[in-house]
Structure formats: structure tokens, C-alpha cells
Amino acid sequence: MSSKSPLPSLPNARKRVAANIRHLRKAKGLSQEQLAEIAEFHRTYVSQLERCVTNISIDGLERLAQVLGVDIIDLLQVPDSGKR
């Protein structure tokens, strides 16, 4: 049997999405409510995502990525330490 090395400690997907949404939203100068409105979500949904209170579908991630002007993969990347 080969010994497997432990996986590196990475933020879970929900935390990565939350940090990346927050960083990109602020970089665009948008409030949570503004981002929600443009992406056609309920006004409190972005807040819930940024606080890791709720999950988001692939379709929802795609809508946010389009509004934020990034590829969907950018929302799933491990954030830089400055984004957390």
C-alpha cells in the first residue's frame, strides 16, 4: 500500500466563494443589495452567501460571475490572504 500524503488545508468551497464574491463586489464598488439586484437575486441573498449561511447553485454562480465580469472558476479559487 502506498501512503497518501494528507491534503493541504484549504478553505472549503463555501468560504472560497464567499471571500471571492465579497472581494470582487467591493472592487466594483457595489453594495450587497446592488449586486443582488443586478444578478436578479433577493436583496438579502448576497449577504447570506458572503456569511456562508446558504449554498448557491451552479446557475447562480454563473449569474454572479457574469455580473462581476469574471469566469465562474474565479469564484471557486482559493482567495489570496488579502481577500479573506
| Helices vs strands, H then E, count in the chain | 5, 0
Q: Is there a domain that residue 1 lies in? A: no
Helices (H), 6-54: 13-27, 32-38, 45-50
Burial of residue 42, with CB atoms counted within 10 A of its CB: 0-12 exposed, 13-18 middle, 19 or more buried: exposed
Q: Is there a domain that residue 63 lies in? A: yes
- Count up the domains in the chain and report the number: 1
Q: Is there a domain that residue 2 lies in? A: no
Domain of 60 in residue numbering reads as 13-72
10-residue averages of pLDDT along the chain (84 residues): 59 93 98 97 96 95 98 94 54
Q: Is there a domain that residue 84 lies in? A: no
CATH number, domain containing residue 31: 1.10.260.40
Question: For position 3, what pLDDT does the model report?
Answer: 58
Q: Is there a domain that residue 78 lies in? A: no
Q: Is there a domain that residue 37 lies in? A: yes
Burial 47-83 (b: 16+ CB within 10 A, else e): bbbbeeeeebeeebbebbbebbeeeeeebeeebeeeb
Question: For position 30, what pLDDT does the model report?
Answer: 98
